[in-house]
Structure 1
Amino acid sequence: MMRFLLTKELGRLAKWLRILGFDASYFTENNPGSLMIQALRDNRTILTRNRRLPESHGIRIIQLKSETLKEQLQETFKSLNIVLDVKHLFTRCIICNEELAPVDREEIKDRIPEYVYKTQRNFVTCPQCQRIYWQGTHWGNVQNILKEIQ
């Protein structure tokens, strides 16, 4: 699966790529040299709206023109011929980009709302930040957005 490095103006897109299961690192520095080094070192495609980034051999740079999230997703998928696979949805932490791991609901009973515990059976957690995720109403919202962009 493709790995991305997004520049600081694309934070919302980074979050959504993570929701969709992509490894999307978020670069907040103002240093093009460091950006290039990280992309090369981590074998990542750079996504940016910055028109002044220098061309670099061996690093794929996609300069997005769109300002809205939906259009940025469409532009990214079209330019890289990406076909979404729903089995990858919600497999990464939207905060720290780590892969999520299944967790037994009894282990997290005291860390989630009682209603969620009673109504949900499957949970995943981030090994880095310890956030807990489940298939709540946001699942339907994401699927609606996916229908709009495909």
Structure 2
Amino acid sequence: MDEELKFITDGMLGKLTRWLRILGYDVEYRPDEADDKLIELAKKTGRTLLTSDLQLYRKATKMGVNTFLVDGKSDVENLAKTSKRFNLNIRTEEIEETRCPVCNFKLRLALPSEVEGKIPTTTLKTYKEFWICTNPKCQKIYWQGSHWKKIEEILKEVKKLTE
């Protein structure tokens, strides 16, 4: 994983933000930020600005900010185009690289005893591996439940589009 690759996204790219975080990429999501502030933040933090707003793209590019216009017709296409442009690693095997889709903090492996009482008992009995968000204000708990198959299917679709 390229630790240097960091993004900032505008309010139109919430789903792309979540997907990139699931894949382990550091993505700052600013849904309510004005264009000028997004450009300033991207410049100041060295993040690549991802936007689907043509005017913002043009303005940021003119100001020397590394910017990518995300213009796919679907969430899958947006992820595929972004992946292709930045040569992103589309994989699910390295779950320890995953970031919290909600807050962007890294996840850590957790013992079943740590999540007991915080998730449904049936989930605790069914699954053996759990991950907790390292953000003290978030601490969401994740596991590879039935939704994981859907995630893998979508990522396979993305891979096909990038070949």
Same fold (TM over 0.5): yes
| Equivalent in the alignment of 2:17 | 14
Tell me the alpha carbon deviations over residues 84-135 of structure 1, each in whole angstroms, 9 at most, x when there is no partner: 2434447211110110111221122111111111111111101220111111
Q: Which amino acid aligns with 2:142?
A: Y
What is the match of residue 118 of structure 1? 125
Provide the C-alpha distance between the structure 1 equivalents of 2:116 and 2:70, rounded to a whole number of angstroms.
Answer: 43
> TM-score by structure 2 length?
0.84
- Do 2:23 and 2:89's aligned partners in 1 also have CA atoms closer than 8 Å? no
Confirm whether residue 96 of structure 1 aligns to residue 103 of structure 2: yes
Q: Is structure 2 residue 52 aligned with structure 1 residue 41?
A: no
Matched-pair identity in %: 34
Offset at residue 30 of structure 1 (A): 4.2
Partner of 2:75: 69
Q: Mean alpha-carbon deviation: is it higher for 28-37 or for 128-137? A: 28-37
State the Cα deviation string for residues 23-66 of structure 1 (Å, max 9, x = none).
11111234222112211232211110111121222x21001121
Aligned length: 149
Q: 1:142 is matched by which residue type in structure 2?
A: I
AA at the equivalent of 1:144 = E
**TM-score normalized by the length of structure 1:** 0.91
Report which stretch shifted further, 113-122 or 27-36.
Answer: 27-36
How many angstroms apart in 1 are the aligned matches of 2:90 and 2:8?
A: 19
Residue 143 of structure 1, aligned match among 116, 136, 152 = 152
Separation in 2, partners of 1:21, 1:139: 16
Q: For 1:81 and 1:124, locate their aligned partners in 2 and report how far apart those are by CA, in whole Å.
A: 27
Backbone CA RMSD of aligned residues: 1.6
For structure 2, the 5+ residue unaligned runs are none
Letter in 2 for 1:23: D
Q: Residue 78 and residue 112 in structure 1: after superposition, are their counterparts in 2 closer, same or farther (change >3 A)? A: same
User: Cα–Cα, structure 1 residues 127 and 66, in superposed 2: closer, same or farther, change >3 Å?
Assistant: same
